[in-house]
């Protein structure tokens, strides 16, 4: 009797494998993951991330955390948030560690739309934002227009209300004026 049960279970498993081979595609896996509230990470990052809003035509996800973040420096205001000895410090004030970690987990991948250099004119005012990583590398984003949602990174420009809102939220967490 046990032999028949084992054979029956093996046949069911084989049928499950054949079904999966015939019906599983990258699109169906993406839909299944979205049903659980996760989606594949942006280019340059592996793994999965919490699902955000669906992308609109022309939008894409950009990872601002290709590595663990060590510091975020707002050069325009002279403020910085830095991790020291397993504590997040903002201008010599200790922040709630989990609040900053939650911010990082929610905003390390931002929704952007690349724009042509002439689409929104010349730079009016700028706020450089530097993100330093634990491997010694860094990335510099320039926020254009005095707190707006236009940015540049390297020689490319993009707009992202998502990134602008995330930076404003981080400033609130750090209690920057």
Per-residue pLDDT tens digits for 116-161: 765 555 556 688 999 999 999 999 999 887 667 899 998 889 999 9
List phi, psi (to 5°) of 106.
-85, -25
Tens of pLDDT, residue by residue over 61-105, are: 888 888 899 999 998 778 999 999 989 999 889 999 999 999 998
> Exposed (0-12), middle (13-18) or buried (19+): which is 71, by Cβ within 10 Å?
middle
DSSP state of 138: E
List phi, psi (to 5°) of 94.
-80, 135
Whether the predicted pLDDT of 25 surpasses 60: yes
Does this model's pTM top 0.75? My answer is no
Residue 83 included in any domain: yes
Q: Which residues of 149-170 are buried (b: 16+ CB within 10 A; e: fewer)?
A: bbbbeeeebbbbebbbebbeeb
Q: Which of residues 31 and 19 earns the better pLDDT score?
A: 19
Residue 119 included in any domain: yes
Give the structural domain span for 159. 54-174
Residue 138 included in any domain: yes
> Exposed (0-12), middle (13-18) or buried (19+): which is 38, by Cβ within 10 Å?
middle
Residue 107 included in any domain: yes
Whether the Cβ atoms of residue 90 and residue 175 lie closer than 8 Å to each other = yes
Residue 2 included in any domain: no
Beta-strand pair 138-144/126-133: antiparallel
Residue 49 included in any domain: no
Q: How far apart are CA 75 and CA 92, in angstroms?
A: 16
Provide the β-strand partners of residue 81.
Answer: 72, 90
Q: State how many domains the chain has.
A: 1
Residue 125 included in any domain: yes
List phi, psi (to 5°) of 175.
60, 40
Instruction: Give the pLDDT mean for 4-24.
Output: 90
Lowest mean pLDDT among 32-36, 58-62, 67-71: 32-36
């Amino acid at each position: 009797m046990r032999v028949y049960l084992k054979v029956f279970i093996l046949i069911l498993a084989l049928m499950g494998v054949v079904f999966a081979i015939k019906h599983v595609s990258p699109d169906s896996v993406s839909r299944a993951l979205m049903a659980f509230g996760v989606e594949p990470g942006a280019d340059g990052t592996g793994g999965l991330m919490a699902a955000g809003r669906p992308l609109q035509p022309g939008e894409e996800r950009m990872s601002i955390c290709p590595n663990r973040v060590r510091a975020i420096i707002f050069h325009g205001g002279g403020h910085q948030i830095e991790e020291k000895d397993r504590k997040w410090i903002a201008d010599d004030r200790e922040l709630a560690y989990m609040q900053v970690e939650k911010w990082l987990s929610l905003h390390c991948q931002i929704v952007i739309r690349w724009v042509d250099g002439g689409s929104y004119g010349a730079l009016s005012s700028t706020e450089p934002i530097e993100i330093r990583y634990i491997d010694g590398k860094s990335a510099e984003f320039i926020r254009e227009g005095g707190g707006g949602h236009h940015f540049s990174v390297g020689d490319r420009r993009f707009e992202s209300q998502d990134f602008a809102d995330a930076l404003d939220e981080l400033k609130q967490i750090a209690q920057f004026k």
